[in-house]
Amino acid sequence: MNTDILELRSGERGRWSRPDTPLTACVIWGNDYATGVANLGHQRVWAICDDAPGWSADRLYALTRPEDKPTSWDWGRPLGGFDLVLASVCFENDYPALLDLLAEAGLLCDHTERRGPLLIAGGIAPSLNPRPLAPFFDAVYEGDAEVILPLVLERIAQQPPRNREDAWSLFAELNLYVGALGNHGEYRLWTSTDDVYAASETIHPAGHFGETALVELGRGCPWRCRFCAASWAAGGFRPSEPAALRGQISEKMEHFYVERVGLVGTAVAEGDDFCELLVWLKEQGLRATASSLRADLLTEETAGLLVELGQRTLTLSAETGSEELRNSLGKGLSDENLLAAAKAVERAGARYLKLYFMYGLPGETDADLKAVGYLVSEIKKRLRRTRLTVSASPFVPKPHTPLADVPLLNEGELRRMRELLARELRRAGIGSFSGESPRQALWQAALARGNEDILRRYRSGESRGRLIREAVNRR
Ligand code: SF4
C-alpha cells in the first residue's frame, strides 16, 4: 500500500471493521476517497453490510488505491477474495472508473463466465436506470438500500447460493433487476422507523467536507420540480423527527469528537423546525453548514443563523433567469424570492453567495439565457460585502421525471448557449463560472438513458463522442 493511502487510512475517525465473520463484502466507489468519504449513501451501504448478522465489510475507492492489484481499504484484501462486491453509485459519469476497477480485479465478464464474488450495484444513478450496469453485475437494486440490502444479506447468510444461477433466482425473488434472467426489479423506498436517516460512519480531514459529521435531515422532497429525480424517484417528503435528529447529532459529535455538523438533504429547510434546529445547534456551541436551500426558505433569520454557525457560502438554485421558464419547470420560485434571499444573505454577512443555473432546458430561448445575466446583475446590486459566484451546467434529463424523454441538444448547440451565457454573465460582472462541460453533461445524459449495450460498446473501444451523438439523434 502506498504512503498516501496509509496516511489517509490512519487519519480516519469512526467505524472500524474486521474480517471476523463467515461472510465478507466490499463496498466499491467509482471515484476518489475525498468524494466517497463525504457521501452518506456510500457510507450507509458500508454500515448496512458491516452490521448485517454474519457479515463484515470493507471499502475500495476506484481513484484512490494502490497502482497494482485493487485491494480493499482496511484489510488490504484483493477484491476477488470477498463473498460480495457492492457498488454504490451516485453519478453516471463514475461508471467507467467502476468498470475499470472490476476489470483490473479480474471480475469484469459476462454473466455466463462470471466467477468469484457476487456483484451487486445500487445507488441513485443505477436506480434510475439499471440497464447500463446490468450486464456487468449479477443484480442491480433500485431505490433505498435500507429496504433491499438487509434482505439480500440475510438470505445469503441463511443459505449461501450454491452457484450463480441460484444467486440470480434469489435476487429475482427479492425483486432486484437481474440482467441474466431479464428480470425487471422494483423501485423501493424506505421510511425510517427510528425517525432519523443516514449519518457519517467515518470522517477524514481530506474528505470534501473535512472534519464534519454529516447528518441527513430526511428523504424526498415536498416539491415537484419537473426535472428533479430527487423528488420524482425518491418519493414524498420524509423528514427526521426533530428530537431524534438532535439525539443523532449529539451522538455523532461525541463519537467523532468534532464540533461541525453538515446538514444534508434534498429539502433541507422544509418544515417549521429548521430555524429551531439552528438555534439549538448554536446553543450547543456547534458549527454547522447546510446544503442548498430553496430561495423562499432562505429568510433573514435562517441566513443569519447559518452565518453565525460558521457557514461562509450560502447557495441557491435559481435554475434559470426567466421566471416563466422557471415556473414551467415547476420550481415555484419568483425572481422576487431570489432577490429577497440575496438581500437576506447580504444582511447576514455571508462571505459568498453561490447561484446554480441550468441551460439547454426544454423550450429555452436566447432571451431566457440573457435573462440569467439580468437576474445576476440585479442580485449583484443587492450585494456589497457578499461576493457572488455562479455555477451553470447543461440540463440532463433524468429517468423517472416528467422530462425524462425530452430530446437532447447537440454538443455544438450547448457550447453556443454556454458562450452566450458567459457573455451575459461577463456583462453582469461575473468573469468566470463553474459547472459541468457540455461533453460531460451529454455523456451523463447518454448513460442515464442508455441501454445494456452502451458501456459494453464503450469498453470495446467506441468513442464517447459517437455514443453521445447516437443518444442525441435518438428522438
Ligand atoms: S425543491 Fe429542489 S429537491 Fe425539491 S423537487 Fe425542486 S429541485 Fe428537487
Distances (CA, A) of 392 to 173, 317, 356, 457: 43, 10, 6, 30
Average pLDDT over residues 164-174: 98
Distances (CA, A) of 426 to 151, 307, 373, 381, 384: 54, 28, 8, 15, 18
Angle at 13 between CA 11 and CA 16, to 5 degrees: 110
Query: 474 pLDDT band (50/70/90 cuts)?
Result: confident
For residue 393, pLDDT over 80 is answered with yes
Which pLDDT does position 268 carry in this prediction?
86
Quick check: 322 pLDDT over 60? yes
Cα(75) to ligand 1 centroid in Å equals 40
pLDDT at 234 over 90: no
Rounded-to-integer distance, Cα 145 and Cα 192, Å: 12
Q: What is the DSSP letter of 117?
A: S
* 115 Cα to the center of ligand 1, angstroms: 42
Per cent of the chain over pLDDT 70 is 98
Task: Count CB neighbours of 28 within 10 A.
Answer: 31
What pairs with residue 293 in β-bridges?
316
Phi, psi of 59 (to 5 degrees): -130, 170
Cβ of 268 closer than 6 Å to ligand 1, yes or no, is no
Question: Is pLDDT above 70 for 475?
Answer: no
Burial class (CB in 10 A: 0-12, 13-18, 19+), 363: exposed
Q: How far is CA 283 from CA 280, 302, 312, 323, in A?
A: 5, 15, 19, 39
Ligand 1: does its nearest atom lie under 6 Å from the Cβ of 269?
A: no
* Nearest CA owner, ligand 1 atom 1: 223
Domain made up of 3-188: CATH architecture: 3-Layer(aba) Sandwich (3.40)
Q: Is the pLDDT of residue 3 over 80?
A: no
pLDDT (tens digit per residue) in 182-216: 999 999 999 998 899 999 999 999 999 999 999 99
**How open is the CA angle 345-434-424, to the nearest 5 degrees?**
80
**Which atom of ligand 1 is closest in space to residue 267's alpha carbon?**
3
Q: How big is the CA angle at 52 (ends 47 and 54), to the nearest 5 degrees?
A: 130
Instruction: Show the cell assigned to 341.
Output: 434571499
Q: Could you identify the residue written with the cell 476477488?
A: 80
Closest CA to 78 of 87, 89, 66, 88: 66
Is residue 178 within 8 A of residue 171, CB to CB? The reply is: yes
Q: For residues 154-169, give the mean pLDDT.
A: 97
Rounded to the nearest angstrom, the distance between the alpha carbon of 166 and the centre of ligand 1 is 41
Whether residue 69 is predicted with pLDDT greater than 90 in this model: the reply is: no
The pLDDT tens digits of the residues spanning 99-148 come to: 999 999 999 998 888 999 999 999 999 999 999 999 999 999 999 999 99
Q: Does the C-beta of 358 come closer than 6 Å to ligand 1?
A: no
* 335 vs 323: CA distance, rounded Å: 6
Determine the 3-state secondary structure of 284 from DSSP. Answer: coil
Nearest CA owner, ligand 1 atom 2? 266
Strand partners, 314: 353
How many angstroms does the Cα of residue 361 sit away from the middle of ligand 1?
16
Number of residues assigned to the chain: 475
On average, the pLDDT of the chain sits at 95
Candidates 231, 316, 331: which one to mutate for ligand 1, based on the most atoms within 8 Å of Cβ?
231
Angle (nearest 5°) at CA 82 between 78 and 84: 130
Domain segments of the chain as ranges: 3-188
pLDDT at 304 over 80: yes
Whether residue 303 is predicted with pLDDT greater than 80 in this model: the reply is: yes
- Count CB-CB contacts under 10 A for residue 197: 25
Q: Is 266 in the pocket of ligand 1 (CB under 6 A)?
A: yes
Q: What is the mean pLDDT of residues 270-296?
A: 93
Is the CB–ligand 1 distance for residue 228 below 6 Å? yes
Confidence tier at 1 by pLDDT (50, 70, 90): low
Mean pLDDT of 371-400: 97
